[in-house]
A and B are shown apart, each in its own frame.
Chain A
């Protein structure tokens, strides 16, 4: 059955849980993970993902290398901490000032070689990703990304991963509720609208994975425009 569900699920757009659907602010909180959830063909409106145990296990253990509660908390916390990285602002500033990028990066980034190379590679990725996102009409100007950064990608993955960890028993329901609420509050500092959230998610994924973002763009459009989507009638986060 699992074999067939893998083929069928990509064609099933917008999965909603009709038995245990969340409403109100709890729904808003869970929607932070909506891009990742839709990517995995999971329920968008409940704590339960609606995915098989085997699928969740594979995602959490193989892709995220989480096999216990401690590892889950560590990874989920890291996804929140990434957004407070001040060095990202330096990389963005260097990207905007092509004439002085060398000076900006050399004088402001950490001297440690590994750290410097990490941010230098981010800078290089920006140079590839930003023109591509403009070409795909995801953004019209880099200015849009300066504010939202890749927070949608970080908080979004964290929110859905937390649901998976909850289903595997690594988080209690209270911990999940608390984590989702925090994700929602933090995300609002960067993204005002759900449209900004999806843009930020696409940007973060492009930085991570490079080209071929048409699938993500389609998911974002579906979430924002499909009549069944919980985001359809929500503009602001």
Chain B
């Protein structure tokens, strides 16, 4: 039966005859008997019917446009300028594969080189790969990399206890392969890393990791000291960063990081229920680090006539060449997500990036100020996006009340950190409106 996605359905007989076969079955003659069978699946439908059906399913989602939401905790509602999506939907980008044939893929290669370059400027390290799956996988691979850099003689990776739980879980899974020992450091009374505890635990570490901002939404003020402690112990310093912060906060590369990871999809990509995303992975310009880094690298070179050109480079680290000895198994990455991020960053430019950071910081501060009126703030410091608040009542009751007012409350933290009590993270970004925050506080007053 002819299908509209399969042009040669109409020519099966004729083609078979031309190559000397009598039937399609003959093409499957090498398949052992009994394997081929009819599957218990629905019949195909028309595009229109599926359009209606999918719309009906999607109707059961309630978006943040229909219900003000204060959810953050690693996924944020940012506005994406319309032209970003328009550009990455250009089918030459959208429908291409990994640029193995450089000459006919110069557009994608240059766009990815620009992504690498823009991220390098933000994070302050000169070598950036063409993306990992997400912040979590980038962080986990950074941990494996620090162990490799110590030739497996050091297997300890030190992370704050208040590292994002999703990332921590990915790290744990990835760490099981080479047997990485994950050591956690406590937070202090200000909700930031406890340097004394770190000093005690850093001995023989392969790497030390810290996030900016941390899981509580706070800027870690002693980040440079953390780097020094790591380096003094002979460990690599890995910084995870929300890049929307980097217009107003110093680049981690300038603060001593050897490896920077983070989430690139905060630029240019919608939340999409959590994916696709793209992990940032950047290192110092040190051959030892570059040789050990995971992922694809796009390099600038020239063509046979001396003209500037772009190509995938240093591929001998990668799985398709090095196989079992590769630095990582990553093959498909998140190229299109990275290009969207690049277009968004380029659009913002230095002024836009700074302003974005400032607006988020100010909106977060407003949210925080208002939350203080109705709840306790366990930690005080500079908050960016997320604010940790503690309630006296069970958070579930508060959540139900907010939902009944068509407001989505924050992220319940207790399942991960029971010691914090009935705590939740409430978040703001540049998209947060004053009337949303005011309605939230009013609703909270009714219930707390």
Are both chains from one complex? no
